[in-house]
Amino acid sequence: MSQRRPEIRLGPRRGVPGASTERMKDAQGTLRRLGGYLSGQRWLLVGVVALVILATAFSLSVPYLVGVAIDQYIAVADVSGLMQIVILILVIAACYSAVTWVHLLLMNRVSQYTVRDLRCELFDKLQTLPLRFFDQRPHGELMSYLTNDVENISIVLAENVTTFLSSILITVGTVCLILLINIPLSIVTFIVIPTTAYFTRYVAKHTRKGFRDQQEALSQLNGQIEETITGGKIIRAYGQEQATVEDFIAKNERLREAAIYAQTYGGFMGPGNNMIYNFGFVLIASAGGWLALHDLASVGIIATFLTYTQQLRRQMGDITNMFNTIQSALAGAERIFTILDEQAEIENVSDAVVLETVKGAVRFEDVSFGYRPDVPILKHINLDVAPGKMIALVGPTGAGKTTIISLLSRFYDITSGTIRLDGYDIRRIDKYDLRRLLGIVLQDTFLFSETVMENIRYGRLDATDEEVVAAAQMANADHFVSRLPHGYQEMLSERASNLSQGQRQLLAIARAILADPAILILDEATSSVDTRTEIQVQQAMNRLMKGRTSFVIAHRLSTIRKADMILFIRDGEIAERGTHEELLALQGHYHQLYTSQFRANSTPAGD
């Protein structure tokens, strides 16, 4: 039974309305697409909108009541009526605070559900992207998408959406009310609003670009930091500390320049709008004073009007203050959607086959491949492997040995030809089922920051503790695991740096033993260990390979002398093939490589 990856669809994607496959560089398109993620919380959003409307009504009623208090109670010294309206204003203020707290609480829930879905979809997408995508991007940059960019969206949804909606509603409500109160004063106000709108639109265009560039520069800096921490030993070994610092300074400088550009325009938004509104307030106050002197407006009406004008100014100020955060979130969303629109790894055909039993017969039929169409890496590879046979691949670096294994694993699709497993074209086999059938042990073993037990169990998640220990024993790993302070429950540090290279290799072999694959791929699994450990690793690999079709990429030719067939790969072609003895007798490339290794191993250390 195959273990298929579950398909996660949490938001609008390709083929769904609102999920454009082009890079989204416009705010409206990005907002529409973000809206698709909010649709799953529509009832919470309905509640939020209803409460925001109610809060807006409370907010708009207070200035009107202040005007009533001035004209109908203060002007005639009616203390009793004034106290009643003051109490009413206090009740409204309390209700406004309570309603505001509730709709912020609900919107925070909407935000957390939405970014959870977005983060899950982004993480899921990363699992489907081809390996070349990761080869071209630093890990720190990819982490920036899942952390900084998603967090910026979360902040906007939780803190700014309701404030923005409230500001818009209050602005619209205020405009309607001032028109009802006094048309001449309203005309003066309407000089200010279009000016502010044009100014905001002009600044927005530059600010969004600035924040997008800033986040790109930040992700590159994160990538530099991640690589520096991970590769710190190599940096020191080659004395490249100064060069690394200079590279960091250059990236940091680019981030500074991008941030200054973004903040220059973003910072100008507030003062610019304040200047426009202060100028407008002076005009409105002057016009109101003239109307009052000519008995065309009461003091209460002018006070109400000025309060509404100040409220309008405050709402526009809130919008301005949110502007930089919103632009930063939109820039992050654009970057996230760019990843979500990346072409996924090769997909299964609609009628993909799931193999119930596998013998392990592998056949390459005139296979050619290139990462780029115009640059072939493999050329006309023909190979027929019977079940249970061991095939060794040797040759110079870059000849195409690992590429052959990658094609068998369907990490890439071949350019031409066919690869068959038990007679089936592997392109017609469910790719997750295909990879389940393969056990891979690499030279650079990756272990998770988990216990030893769980790292071995990764080969088969439903394995019992007893099965895990049995696999470790077969892999010659039990002897050192048992001596660890917490045995199989010992926590491994990042990249298992608290274990030796040989110990990590033995755990990887135990993991492969537990997976019980039909076909084994061993990629130079003994090239980085000492001679004593190599014997233990080789013994474990021999047990693992017994009865299984095995492909071994070898650095030390002494480990493959018993291979059923050795392929010497050169310039993407099989230059020689045969057993160890046959290739030595051929006196060709393999003979030359074997002889050079034999001489190197027999040379005294002091020579």
pLDDT the model gives residue 527: 55
Please identify which residue in the block is written with the tokens 């708009």. Answer: 60
CA–CA gap between residue 248 and residue 221 (Å, rounded): 7
pLDDT the model gives residue 234: 67
Helices 299-340 and 42-68 pack at an angle, to 10 degrees, of 160
CA–CA gap between residue 100 and residue 106 (Å, rounded): 10
CA–CA gap between residue 412 and residue 401 (Å, rounded): 14
Cα three-residue angle 17-23-29, rounded to 5 degrees? 50
Q: How many residues does the chain have?
A: 607
Residue 417, SS3 per DSSP:
strand
Could you tell me which residues are beta bridge partners of residue 420? 363, 425
CA–CA gap between residue 217 and residue 203 (Å, rounded): 21
pLDDT the model gives residue 569: 93
Please identify which residue in the block is written with the tokens 């991640």. Answer: 226
351-437+556-607 shares the fold of 37-340: no
Can you say whether the dihedral through the CA atoms of 293, 298, 299, 301 is positive or negative? negative
Per-residue tokens: 255: 């981030």
Residue spans per domain, the chain: 37-340, 351-437+556-607
Q: What is the CA radius of gyration of the chain?
A: 35
pLDDT the model gives residue 88: 92
pLDDT the model gives residue 23: 40
Cα three-residue angle 339-344-348, rounded to 5 degrees? 160
Give the residue from 392, 381, 387 showing the smallest Cα distance to 423.
387
The 10 Å Cβ neighbour count of residue 423 is 8
Could you tell me which residues are beta bridge partners of residue 384? 363
Per-residue tokens: 538: 């080789």
CA distance readout (Å), 510 to 30, 41, 462, 481, 548: 47, 46, 15, 12, 15
CA 1, distance to chain mean position in Å, is 31
Q: What pTM was computed for the model?
A: 0.65
Q: Are strands 378-385 and 549-553 parallel, antiparallel or unpaired?
A: unpaired
CATH number of 351-437+556-607: 3.40.50.300
pLDDT the model gives residue 17: 35
Give the residue from 170, 472, 523 showing the smallest Cα distance to 314.
170
424-438 residue pLDDT tens: 999 999 888 888 888
**With a cut of 70, which residues of the chain have pLDDT below it?**
1-27, 192-194, 197, 201, 204-205, 208, 229-234, 236-238, 268-270, 273, 277, 317, 320-321, 324, 524-534, 599-607
Cα three-residue angle 437-441-443, rounded to 5 degrees? 155
Cα three-residue angle 174-176-178, rounded to 5 degrees? 65
* 364 contacts 569 by C-beta, under 8 angstroms: no
Q: Which CATH number fits domain 37-340: 2.40.110.10, 3.40.50.12280, 3.40.50.2300, 1.20.1560.10?
A: 1.20.1560.10
Helix segments in 461-561, DSSP class H: 465-474, 478-481, 501-515, 531-545
- Return the DSSP state at 424: E
pLDDT the model gives residue 582: 93
